[in-house]
Every structure is written in C-alpha cells, then in structure tokens.
Amino acid sequence: MPSSIHGFDTKSEGTSTASEASPRIAPDKPALEARPPGAPHRPTRPWWIDVWVRMLTGKPLGTIGGVIVVGMLTAAVLADWIAPYGYAQTSLRARFIAMSAAHWLGTDELGRDLLTRLIYGARISLYVGFGAIAIGSVLATLIGIVSGYLGGRFDLLVQRGVDAWMAFPPLLLLLSIMSLLGPSVWNITIVLGVAFGIQNSRVVRGVALLVKEHTFVESARALGAGHVRTTLTHILPNVMPTIIVVATTGLSTVILTEASLSFLGLGVPPPYPTWGGMLSLAGLDHMYRAPWLAIWPAVALSLAVFGFNMLGDALRDLLDPRLKGG
C-alpha cells in the first residue's frame, strides 16, 4: 500500500508537487507552500493549522514521529510526577538490580533507578535540543537574511567565514570548544546553538536570495519601505517555512550531538542524567555486569532520533518541497 509509506517517499511525489506549487507570495501565505496533487486547497484555514491536518491525514510516519515527540515532551515536563525515584537517588543495597517490579528497567552501579534516569534524560535532551535550536534558528536567520539581503562584499566576507567553520569536522570543533569551556548544560546548549546557527545560515541565505528577487520586494522598496521594514515584513515571513523545516530536521542532529559529547564526558556533566552520558565510555566496565545499562539508553536515543527525523521529514515535505533530498 503506497500511501502507508508516503511519509518518506522522496521522489515520486517530489516531481509532481514541485510543478504544481504556485509561487504565490504574500506576507500572510508561505511562499513555498505546495499541496499534494489532488488535495483540495482550503484557503480559509491558516497554514500552520493546515500543515498538521495534512500531516495527520497523509503522513503516517510523520504522525508516528509526532506521537513519539509528544511522548518525550510529556515525560520531560511531568518527570517530577511520573518518575518513580529521584534521578540522583542512590541506594547501595540496590546496585545492579535487573528488571524487576520495584525497578522496571533495573538499576545502575550506584543503585539509581534506570527508568527514572531515562525520563529525566528526556528532559535534559529536550532542554538542550530546544534551547540550542532556538539560539541557532535566531542566529541562522540573522546571519542568513542580513548576508543574503545586503549581498556584495559583506556577503562575500561572511560566507568565507562560514566556509572556514564548515571545513572542520563538527565533532572535532565542538569537542575542542567544550573541553575549554568545561562541561555544563548552559555551555553545551550555547555551543550547539551557535554551531547549528552558523551551519544553517547558508540555507536561510539561499532562500533569502531567491525571495529578494521578487517584484513585491521591489515594490515595497519603491513605496518607501526601509531595509529593516522590508526584511521584517516581506523577507522574513517568506523565509519562515524554511526556518521551521531546518529547525525540526536539525533537532535530531542536535540531540544526537549532545549525546555524543556527553558520551565522551564533555557534554552535560553528572549527576544530571543524559542518554549519551548513561551510555558513556566511562561506564563501559559496568555494562558487562549489567547490559541493560547499555540497552535502554541506546533504545531511548534511537527512538528520539527516529521520532524527530520522521516528524522533520514530514514537515519538510509539507512546508518546503524544494528542500527535499535524501
């Protein structure tokens, strides 16, 4: 049944939607909106509600991803109420207990409950993930729009800086910075945010360059709108769908990067539980005794990445078909 796997079909749909997408551009409409062939267009519904309706009806994998993400969010928000123990609550009598009624997923080398730590781990992952994405999106938008809109020598200079940044393997650069700043929740959020922002400013700039060429920008300028007004009221709304897409698809990457930094001991410091930190290199010896210490964090991390990937992919298909790729 083709429609059941519609969510990650990259090709068959891409060609048809791209040609049917009408490049109607007005500040209250996303510039790059495309609807699947045959789907009725309902102009009465605001686009940001319409997206979710179309996701629920046409993107089953995106919906599954959404459910996982909502589940994670719930766990993170309600952690204090649903977690059976405290995340740093140790018990010497309950070390290395396998899965049991008292400890559903077992305990670790200090007798801390694994389920509790996984639930609180969701909180830290999301906290760092959303924080970094928020910082990064603002930064990417700022650099991208200003660089693309102003163009000329300024653009050239900024883009060479971005080139230099992108020449590094991201993990090496992030590790270098984190080792100097020292592990902390704030540091890793800011560092990941800045890295995300610089990297994705290129995508935003690309879209800004395209939007800039439209006649409505020219007419706004001709009517006497200043540069600030033009960018805020005409360029920004049309770049917005791209930013949303980049941000959602970036979430899984940011969460994964936080996990790998914590894995190496340079992300979120103990005693905060993080999935990467729980898998960590330092705890490898304990895992031979208690394999569940390795299994559950890995499962949680994979589920989260899967959820954010699927949700991001579906949103990308619905919001900005031009970014479609592998």
Binding site for another protein (CB under 8 A): 2, 5, 8, 10-12, 14, 61, 160-161, 163-165, 167-173, 175-177, 179-182, 256, 259-260, 263-264, 266, 276, 279, 281, 284, 287-288, 291, 294-295, 297-298, 301-303, 305-306, 309-310, 325-326
Nearest approach, Cβ of residue 161 and another protein (Å):
6
Cβ distance to another protein smaller for residue 116 or 125: 125
Cβ distance to another protein smaller for residue 48 or 154: 154
Cβ distance to another protein smaller for residue 12 or 44: 12
Contact 88, 271 (CB under 8 A): yes
Q: What angle do CA 237, 243, 246 make, to 5 degrees?
A: 160
Separation of alpha carbons 43 and 14, rounded Å? 22
Nearest approach, Cβ of residue 114 and another protein (Å):
15
198: its two tokens: 């610089």
Cβ distance to another protein smaller for residue 233 or 302: 302
Cβ distance to another protein smaller for residue 202 or 221: 202
Nearest approach, Cβ of residue 65 and another protein (Å):
10
Separation of alpha carbons 318 and 35, rounded Å? 7
Nearest approach, Cβ of residue 164 and another protein (Å):
4
Tell me whether residue 186 is exposed, middle or buried, using C-beta atoms within 10 angstroms of its C-beta: 0 to 12, 13 to 18, 19 or more.
Answer: exposed
Nearest approach, Cβ of residue 179 and another protein (Å):
5
Nearest approach, Cβ of residue 291 and another protein (Å):
5
Cβ distance to another protein smaller for residue 16 or 89: 16
Contact 136, 196 (CB under 8 A): yes
| Residue 29 φ then ψ, to 5° | -120, 140
What is the Cα 313 distance to its own chain's centre? 11
Cis peptide before 170 (omega within 30 of 0): no
315: its two tokens: 């949103």
Nearest approach, Cβ of residue 185 and another protein (Å):
17
Closest CA to 278 of 120, 126, 172: 120
| Residue 249 φ then ψ, to 5° | -70, -25
Cβ distance to another protein smaller for residue 104 or 165: 165
